[in-house]
Amino acid sequence: MVLPDAHAGRAEHRRPHRLLARRRGEAVSGTDGDDTIVQRDVARGLLGPQKSLPAYLFYDAAGSELYEQITTLPEYYPTRAERSIFATQAADIVAAAALGSPDPLNVIELGAGTATKTQLLLEALVERQGACDFLAIDVSSSALGEAVARLGREAPRVRVRPLVAHHEEAMAEIERVAPRQLALFIGSSIGNYTDEEATRLLRQLRLSLRPGAAFLLGTDLRKSPERMVPAYDDAQGVTAAFNLNLLVRLNRELGADFDPAAFRHVALWNPERSRIEMHLESRRAQDVQLPALHTRVHFGAGERIHTESSVKYDEAHVDRLLAAEARGRERTF
């Protein structure tokens, strides 16, 4: 859905980004997370009463590759649905975002990943205006590196600037993108946030975008659990490997001694919160050492680490979320 950002203002202060590759085709390098931030977030999650890990930790190089595999699975309908929308309606989306102006649009995407779907929209923009600037924001340097390389080969008139950052850290760079702006937050990624968190992020984005910017938001509408749950628990076990890779990453980066075989992937539908939840469940009672945190964490048999949520919406829920940030829905695709 395309939403004009008529109330956009200016953000007063933003934290600096961690890495920006400025030249087209420049290799994106560095780690996918500041060590201090990772240690802080893991400590908060694993030492609390309900164990959890932040979902951004999924996206190291191995996790990003597994996620790309997930998007091709027969059970994983969200990517196919969005790709179909872009394949058939990209020109309509671009026209709606332009609001009748002949000025070129510059694209900003939160959670760009490899930008495979977005390429369809970028190509429609290039056809309309000859060239396009694209600020691609993601926590995964490997995914952004792939996006830069592929767009360089297949869409050379798209000028890509990859930014490795969390969404909240990217706002200062978003402010620098020239008008007119089209911001994308697709892939139903908004569902990874609680309503309070989502509203806060949308507010930050609104304050960082320039007046007259357009916003395309992708949400996944609620369906039967029989269809939704397999999208997060596929028959081939790719999503399970994606989830368990979190533990491999903590072993590598924090010196932990998780045994991934001692945990199992769990995906379930939580009807009270209208969300799919992913967990890692301990198969037995065990202690895990985390030297970087100077601590040991105990897991009881059957105890779970909450690793991700994906809220599933209805139309009214989407409108409430947007209304909280003084936005209105212009069109739905």
Q: Looking at the structure, tell me whether residues 10 and 46 fall in a common domain.
A: no
Q: Looking at the structure, tell me whether residues 117 and 20 fall in a common domain.
A: yes
Confidence at residue 2, expressed as pLDDT on a 0 to 100 scale:
37
| Contact (Cβ atoms closer than 8 angstroms) between residue 200 and residue 167 | no
Residue 328 domain flag: no
Least confident of 75-79, 176-180, 227-231, 268-272: 176-180
Residue 71 domain flag: no
Whether the per-residue pLDDT at 14 is higher than 70: the answer is no
Q: Looking at the structure, tell me whether residues 201 and 90 fall in a common domain.
A: yes
Q: What is the dihedral of CA 314, 74, 248, 117, to 10 degrees?
A: -70
Which residue blocks in the chain are alpha helix, DSSP H? 35-46, 61-70, 77-98, 118-129, 141-154, 171-175, 195-208, 225-228, 238-254, 315-323
Confidence of residue 19 (pLDDT cuts 50, 70, 90): very low
Average pLDDT of the chain, as a whole number: 90
Confidence at residue 327, expressed as pLDDT on a 0 to 100 scale:
73
Give the contacts of 308 (CB within 8 A, at least 6 positions apart): 55, 58, 192, 243, 277, 278
Q: Which residue's structure tokens are 């938001």?
A: 217
Nearest to 209, CA basis, from 2, 4, 37, 10: 10
Residue 58 domain flag: yes
Q: Looking at the structure, tell me whether residues 234 and 93 fall in a common domain.
A: no
Whether the per-residue pLDDT at 79 is higher than 50: the answer is yes
Residue 11 domain flag: yes
Q: Looking at the structure, tell me whether residues 172 and 96 fall in a common domain.
A: yes
Instruction: Work out the average pLDDT over 53-65.
Output: 96
Confidence of residue 328 (pLDDT cuts 50, 70, 90): confident
Least confident of 38-42, 276-280, 313-317, 324-328: 324-328
Q: Looking at the structure, tell me whether residues 184 and 203 fall in a common domain.
A: yes
Q: How far apart are CA 52 and CA 43, in angstroms?
A: 10
Confidence at residue 96, expressed as pLDDT on a 0 to 100 scale:
93
Confidence of residue 99 (pLDDT cuts 50, 70, 90): confident
Q: Looking at the structure, tell me whether residues 280 and 297 fall in a common domain.
A: yes
Confidence at residue 326, expressed as pLDDT on a 0 to 100 scale:
65
Whether the per-residue pLDDT at 204 is higher than 70: the answer is yes
Q: How far apart are CA 116 and CA 150, in angstroms?
A: 9
Instruction: Work out the average pLDDT over 18-29.
Output: 34
| Contact (Cβ atoms closer than 8 angstroms) between residue 294 and residue 301 | no
Q: Looking at the structure, tell me whether residues 143 and 20 fall in a common domain.
A: yes
Residue 330 domain flag: no
Whether the per-residue pLDDT at 16 is higher than 50: the answer is no
Confidence at residue 37, expressed as pLDDT on a 0 to 100 scale:
87
Q: Looking at the structure, tell me whether residues 140 and 234 fall in a common domain.
A: no
Q: Could you tell me the residue range of the domain that residue 240 belongs to?
A: 35-64+224-311
Residue 301 domain flag: yes
Quick one: tokens of 104?
A: 């070129």
Residue 331 domain flag: no
Confidence at residue 36, expressed as pLDDT on a 0 to 100 scale:
86
Q: Looking at the structure, tell me whether residues 307 and 317 fall in a common domain.
A: no
Residue 106 domain flag: yes
Residue 209 belongs to a domain with what CATH number? 3.40.50.150
Number of domains making up the chain: 2
Q: Looking at the structure, tell me whether residues 218 and 288 fall in a common domain.
A: no
Q: Looking at the structure, tell me whether residues 156 and 296 fall in a common domain.
A: no
Confidence of residue 100 (pLDDT cuts 50, 70, 90): confident
Least confident of 23-27, 34-38, 67-71: 23-27
Portion of the chain with pLDDT greater than 90, in percent: 82
Q: How many CA atoms lie within 13 A of 256 on its CB side?
A: 24
